[in-house]
Every structure is written in C-alpha cells, then in structure tokens.
Amino acid sequence: MKSELAIVTKGLGKAYRLGEGHDLALNFREAVMGRVRGLARRSTGSSAREAKPDDRFWALRDLDLEVKRGEVVGILGRNGAGKSTLLKLLSRITAPTTGSATIRGRVGSLLEVGTGFHLELTGRENIFLNGAILGMRRREILSRFDEIVDFAEIGPHIDTPVKRYSSGMRMRLGFAVAAFLDTEILFVDEVLAVGDAEFRRKCLGKMGSIANEGRTVLFVSHNMSAISNLCSRAILIDEGRCVESGEPRALIQSYLDRSAAESQQIAEGVFDLAQRTNPYGRRDLILRKLELLDAQMRPKTRFEIGEKIFLRVHVEGMSDVRGTTIGLIVKDEQDRWICDINTYMSCAGIKEPRSHREVATLELDRIPLVPGSYPLALSISTGGANGRRDFIECATRLEVIDSDIYGSGVSLGKSKGVTYLEGRWRIEGADDPGEAEEDDQLEGELTPSG
C-alpha cells in the first residue's frame, strides 16, 4: 500500500557562503565554475577570502515537514525567509547542505518565469520536452496538448522559439504545462504575481480545480486571500525555520502579527522602519520612520471612525532618483487589499529645494473604516525595470475604534464590512399615483355641470 505521505523532509537545510556566488553543496556545473574561478584568480595573482566553517548564511535550516497526499499547503513568510529555497530543494533544482527530502510522485514546478524551458526550442517542443521528463508517453502529452495551448493563450506563437516570448507568455505557458501535465505533486512559487489580472484569476481558478482533484500542492504566495481559500493547511517559515503549522486563517494572523512587530514602536504612534532584518527591494531609497497623527498633529495608534488622520513617512534618497512614488496600502485582517493611495495619484506638491532626507505627509479628512485592526503596507518605488526600491508588508496596524458616526447612538461593528458610507436616509410621505388619478376622476364625476 502506498504511503499516505507525499513529501517528507528531515533536518533539511541549505547554506551559502557569505561573499561567494555558490553554495556549500556543489553540483557538476557549479564545481566546473568554481574550477574556472580558481584558474582566473591564479592568473591574476589574486586570492579568494578563505571561508571559515561558520562563515555562511543558512537560507533554510533543520526543517522537518510532512505533507499528506492530496493536501494543499500554503507557505507563508517574509521575503528572504526561505520559502523559495524550500521549493527549489524539493524540486531538486539545488542540493541540500544537510538533511534529506523524500518525494513520492511525479513533480511539476512553477518557480520562476521560464524555469524548465529550453529557450531555443519552440513552445510546442518545450511541452513535449517537459512531458518526456515526467515520463509521459507521446500519446499522453497529445491528449493534454490542446488544453495547455488554449489555457496559455499562445496559439499563434506555439511554433515560435521560447526565447522570443515575453515574460508573461512564458509564465502562462509554464503554468499551463505544470497544471495540465500528469503530475501528482505541484510546487507553485509567487510567479502568479506576473501577468494581467484576468489570467491571475484564471490561474487561481485552475488551482482550485487541482486542489479538488486530490493532487498535492505546495503554494508560496503573498496573496493571503488565495492561501485562505485554496489551502487546507499553512506553514509559517521565519529565518529559514518552520515556526508554525496549522489552519490557514490562524497562520495568516500570526504572520501579520510578526510582520507588524518588526517595525519597532519608538513612541506612541511613531515606528522605526529602518531597523529591519529582512528588507525588500534595492534599498537605495529607504523608508525610515512612520508617524500616525491626529488632527492636532499628536501621535497615537487608536483612532475613531471618521476621525481625521495624518500619516507622516520619513524617507531617505528619494530626491536622488527621478519618478519616485510613495504608496500606502490598507489591508484587512486577512491581508486582503482594501485600498491604496500613492503620490502618483494624489500629491499636493513637492517643496523645493530637495534634500536627501525628506518627510511625505498623507492627510485623510476621515478614516472610512469600521472598527478593526488594519495592516498598513508602505512602498517607495520607481517605474521601469527597477520597480520597488523599498517595501514593508506591514509597517504597523491602524486600530480603528467605534464612534457614533451617524449621531444616532447605533454603533458599527465588524459585521458591517470594512468601510462605511457617509449619507443620511430621509423618509417622507408620498401618494400612490394610481390612487391620486382615481380621486381626480371621481371628483370630476361628482361635480355638477353648469
């Protein structure tokens, strides 16, 4: 009888030498590259820094994990926590430094855009190549071929070399191949962030179907709503270790709590954003501090519904880069995106002359949220390929408390959604038009002529 466990890891770990471009467990390609580097150093008379036994970074360490057949497991964690490293180890893309991983079943992976494709081959040839690697026969691949092409929406380009595909086309084909070929285990990283919104919805719908088919799925995503809806279990990875496992909604809450705690509160309503252990982005532009202020510019963390609020963000390096945008994202308690506002959408102006350290202030006349705790994400970014320069998933939480916003003595609770409408009902009498017409006709009949 087959084991009920599809994935088992014991003491799994992955280390990289600091300052080196390769890891501690070399494959053949990496060994050859290391030999070439050594020859180059000797030819120039330079020598590499000797690596000490403890001079290494553990991307993943001592991870024990068991995943049952048919389980859909979401993997949570901050950027750099070790989520993608785990999937690469399980996919055999890289070798572990310590421990072992046992995989029972055919594996399909979608880890990075274009992973598993031969760029010189066409889309058609790559579909057959991937199927052959999985041990599928030509007849089996042909039975899925049309579904793959239709889902990926690349019909006219199926006989074009993949190297000429855009990143979105590669992602669509990669997802379709992983989802439709005969795999028992599927690993999906955050690549669903690539592509248009309609295709992302289509991918999430297909993943829901995969979950119902009884296939085993490990799903890395920052889309908390998708993890909550698709996954039967979640694990939380922090600094390379699995720190929690359990029901997705509870794990999401724990993850958000950990993220918020990373931004140290200096004083009431004032948060230090610079001292982060896992920064994200290029970090040449830095979000340094956040202040939450009331109408009198007094810092605090708890605000009433409809109260005026100022959010003051201290930044560094913004004046040195053209086209910089600062953005605030408000989320709900399940990390779902409620709304956002950035300086590209709404900016009253920039004071000259500029300086290396600046303060950006967002003024909201009223907080349009019902009582609750709302994670605030902050970003500073530029357009083009560079993208985000600094990003914080949860800089702090905005605590909104109840108030008599309508002046009726009736409070708003969490059952009322996440936002409220500013308006007033008015009720007044009105005659039925039919009845009014009958009255006029009757009055005419009863009025004597002459």
The CATH T-level fold of domain 5-257 is Rossmann fold (3.40.50)
- pLDDT (0 to 100) of residue 91: 85
Report residue 325 as tokens: 């945008």
Largest CA distance in the chain: 127
User: SS3 for 99?
Assistant: strand
- Report domain extents, the chain: 5-257, 266-401
How many angstroms separate the Cα of 88 from the Cα of each of 84, 104, 189, 230, 391?
6, 16, 10, 22, 25
Asked if residue 115 lies in contact with residue 193, where contact means CB atoms within 8 angstroms, the answer is no
Give the tens place of pLDDT for each residue, 375-391.
Answer: 898 988 886 545 668 88
Report phi then psi at 372, rounded to 5: 160, 180
pLDDT digits (tens, 9 = 90+) for 5-20: 999 999 999 988 765 5
**pLDDT at residue 51, rounded to an integer:** 45
What is the distance between the alpha carbons of residues 400 and 331, in angstroms, rounded to a whole number? 13
Sign, CA dihedral 58-64-69-75, equals negative
Cis peptide preceding 371, ω within 30 of 0: no
Cβ atoms 245, 235 nearer than 8 A = yes
Give the pairing of strands 337-342 and 325-331. Answer: antiparallel
Instruction: Determine contact, residues 253/237, Cβ cutoff 8 Å.
Output: no
CB contact at 8 A, 387 and 379: no
Cα(109)–Cα(151) distance, integer angstroms: 17
Does the domain at 266-401 match CATH 2.70.50.60? Answer given as yes
pLDDT at 50: 47
Mean pLDDT (the chain) is 80
Q: At what angle do helices 197-212 and 167-180 cross, to 10 degrees?
A: 10
For residue 24, pLDDT beyond 60: no
Query: Alpha-carbon Rg of the chain, whole angstroms?
Result: 29
Helix (H) or strand (E) holding 32: helix 28-44
Q: How far apart are CA 173 and CA 158, in angstroms?
A: 10
- Interval 113-150: pLDDT, tens: 556 688 889 999 989 988 887 778 888 889 989 999 99
Q: Are 186 and 210 in contact (CB under 8 A)?
A: yes
